[in-house]
C-alpha cells in the first residue's frame, strides 16, 4: 500500500472513531496455577420442559431473578422459563411488523430488566419489557455476517457487534452503536482480502467497569476496552498448548472435520461478579485422526455427520485474575460440553431417538474456593 493511501486510510479510521488497539499495554499471565485448592465445577441448574422444545437452542439469557429467556429457532416466540424448567410465559410472534420476529440470534437482559433481541433476518434491534411488551425496534448497521454474529449490550443501551464492516479501502471487526442504532465508532481494522476475513472473528463480553472485552478466536490475546472505547490493555496468555497463530496466507484455521488437525480456539469467555475472567478453550483431542479432504467430501458428497462426531476437541476452562495477572484455577473435559453463553451458563441438548423429544439441560460454572 502506498504511503498516501495508507495515510488516507488512517485519516478515515480516526474520523470514524476507530482504534487499532496498538497502543494497549500487554499484560502476560503465566501458566502456574496459584490456587491449588480451588476447584472449577460445572453444576446442573435445570432441565427445560421438553414439550416446549422444538430443536437445539439458539439463544439463551437469564435475568437476576433466575428467569430463563430462550429461543430455539423453530418458532419466532421468545419463551420464558421458571428456575425449575417449567414454562412461565412467551412473547413475540413471526412477522416483520413492530414487535415481530424472524430469526433471533442474540438475546440480552439489561440491568433494568428490559429484553434486547438482535434479529438476523430483519437486521434490527428490538426491545421488550421483562413482561414482553414492545418498547422499541430499530435497524442496526449492515455487515457481512449480519447481526447474528457475537454482540453485546452496552450499559447505555447501545451495542457492540462483531462482523466484517467495510468502509472505503479498509474493513473493521467491530461496530459500536448508540441506543438509537446510530453508528458511533468502528474498531479493530481488518484485512479486506476475502481469504483472510476469518481474522475479523471476535468474541465479546461485558466488563464490570462499564467497558468490554474482545477475544480473537484463534489468538491468545484478549483486549479490554474502557467505557470510552479506548483499548487500554491486552491480556496475553502464554501457554505451550496454545501456539501463536501462524497460518499461511489464505489458509483458514481448521476445526478438524477434514484432513487438517484442529487448531486451538477460544470458544467462550466472560467476567464474573467477582471480576475474574473465565476463558473456555477448545484444545485438539489427541485421539483425532485425519479425515478426507474438503475436495473429496464435496466431490463424493460424503456425509458430514460422522466426520463432525469423531473426537476433535477437548474443553479447557481457566479462571484468570486480571488485576493480579494470575491463573487461579483450571479444568478440563475430554470432549465438547455444549454451548456456553457469556454468563457462564452451558446448554446441552439431545434428541430422544425413541420419542423424538428434545432434552435441553442448563448448567453453570462455579469456582469453589477453600
Domain ranges of the chain: 25-242+257-368
Q: 157 has which bridge partners? A: none
d(CA 337, CA 42): 10
Q: Is 329 helix (H, G, I), strand (E, B) or coil?
A: strand
Q: Cβ distance 186 to 174 under 8 Å?
A: yes
* pLDDT value of residue 76: 83
- Contacts for 187-190: CB closer than 8 Å, 24+ residues apart: 187/18, 187/19, 187/21, 187/214, 187/225, 187/229, 187/231, 188/18, 188/19, 188/20, 188/21, 188/214, 189/13, 189/18, 189/20, 190/164
Give Cβ neighbours of residue 186 (< 8 Å, ≥ 6 apart).
13, 16, 17, 18, 165, 167, 172, 174, 175, 176
Would you state the pLDDT for residue 137?
Answer: 92
User: Which has the closest alpha carbon to 93: 62, 126, 123?
Assistant: 126
Ranges under pLDDT 50 in the chain: 1-22, 147
- Beta carbons of 242 and 177 less than 8 angstroms apart: no
Strand, helix or coil at 274?
Answer: coil
The dihedral built from the CA positions of residue 262, 265, 267 and 273, taken in this order, carries a sign that is: positive
The pLDDT, as a whole number, for residue 57 is 83
How high is the pLDDT of residue 192?
67
Q: Do 217 and 200 meet the contact criterion of CB atoms below 8 Å apart? A: no
Question: Closest Cα partner for 336 from 291, 293, 280?
Answer: 280
Residues near 137 by Cβ (< 8 Å), separated by ≥ 6?
A: 98, 99, 124, 125, 126, 127
Tell me the β-bridge partners of 100.
93
- What stretches of the chain show up as alpha helix (H) in DSSP? 3-15, 294-300, 305-309
User: Which CATH code of 2.102.10.10, 3.40.50.980, 2.120.10.30, 2.115.10.20 fits the domain covering 25-242+257-368?
Assistant: 2.120.10.30
* Contact (Cβ atoms closer than 8 angstroms) between residue 140 and residue 161: yes
Amino acid at each position: 500500500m502506498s504511503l498516501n493511501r495508507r495515510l488516507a486510510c488512517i485519516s478515515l479510521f480516526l474520523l470514524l472513531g476507530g482504534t487499532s488497539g496498538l497502543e494497549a499495554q500487554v499484560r502476560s499471565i503465566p501458566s502456574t496455577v496459584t490456587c491449588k485448592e480451588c476447584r472449577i465445577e460445572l453444576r446442573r441448574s435445570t432441565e427445560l420442559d421438553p414439550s416446549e422444545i422444538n430443536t437445539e437452542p439458539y439463544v439463551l439469557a437469564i435475568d437476576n431473578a433466575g428467569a430463563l429467556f430462550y429461543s430455539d429457532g423453530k418458532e419466532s416466540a421468545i419463551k420464558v422459563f421458571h428456575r425449575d424448567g417449567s414454562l412461565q410465559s412467551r412473547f413475540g410472534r413471526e412477522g416483520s411488523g413492530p414487535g415481530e420476529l424472524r430469526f433471533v440470534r442474540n438475546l440480552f437482559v439489561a440491568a433494568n430488566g428490559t429484553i434486547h433481541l438482535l434479529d438476523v433476518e430483519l437486521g434490527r434491534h428490538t426491545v421488550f419489557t421483562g413482561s414482553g411488551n414492545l418498547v422499541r425496534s430499530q435497524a442496526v448497521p449492515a455487515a457481512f455476517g449480519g447481526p447474528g454474529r457475537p454482540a453485546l449490550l452496552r450499559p447505555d443501551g447501545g451495542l457492540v457487534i462483531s462482523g466484517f464492516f467495510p468502509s472505503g479501502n479498509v474493513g473493521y471487526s467491530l461496530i459500536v452503536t448508540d441506543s438509537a442504532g446510530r453508528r458511533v465508532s468502528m474498531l479493530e481494522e481488518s484485512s479486506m482480502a476475502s481469504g483472510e476475513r476469518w481474522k475479523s472473528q471476535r468474541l465479546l463480553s461485558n466488563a464490570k467497569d462499564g467497558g468490554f472485552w474482545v477475544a480473537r478466536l484463534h489468538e491468545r490475546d484478549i483486549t479490554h476496552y474502557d467505557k470510552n472505547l479506548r483499548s487500554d490493555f491486552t491480556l496475553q496468555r502464554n501457554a505451550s498448548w496454545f501456539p501463536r497463530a501462524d497460518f499461511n496466507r489464505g489458509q483458514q484455521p481448521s476445526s478438524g472435520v477434514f484432513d487438517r488437525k484442529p487448531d486451538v480456539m477460544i470458544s467462550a469467555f466472560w467476567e464474573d461478579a467477582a471480576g475474574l475472567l473465565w476463558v473456555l478453550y477448545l484444545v485438539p483431542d489427541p485421539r483425532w485422526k485425519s479425515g478426507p479432504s474438503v475436495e473429496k467430501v464435496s466431490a463424493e458428497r460424503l456425509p458430514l455427520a460422522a466426520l463432525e462426531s469423531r473426537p476433535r476437541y477437548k474443553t479447557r476452562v481457566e479462571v484468570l485474575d486480571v488485576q493480579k495477572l494470575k491463573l487461579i484455577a483450571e479444568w478440563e473435559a475430554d470432549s465438547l460440553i455444549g454451548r456456553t453463553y457469556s454468563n457462564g451458563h452451558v446448554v446441552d441438548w439431545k434428541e430422544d431417538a425413541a420419542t423424538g423429544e428434545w432434552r435441553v439441560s442448563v448448567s453453570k460454572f462455579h469456582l469453589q474456593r477453600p
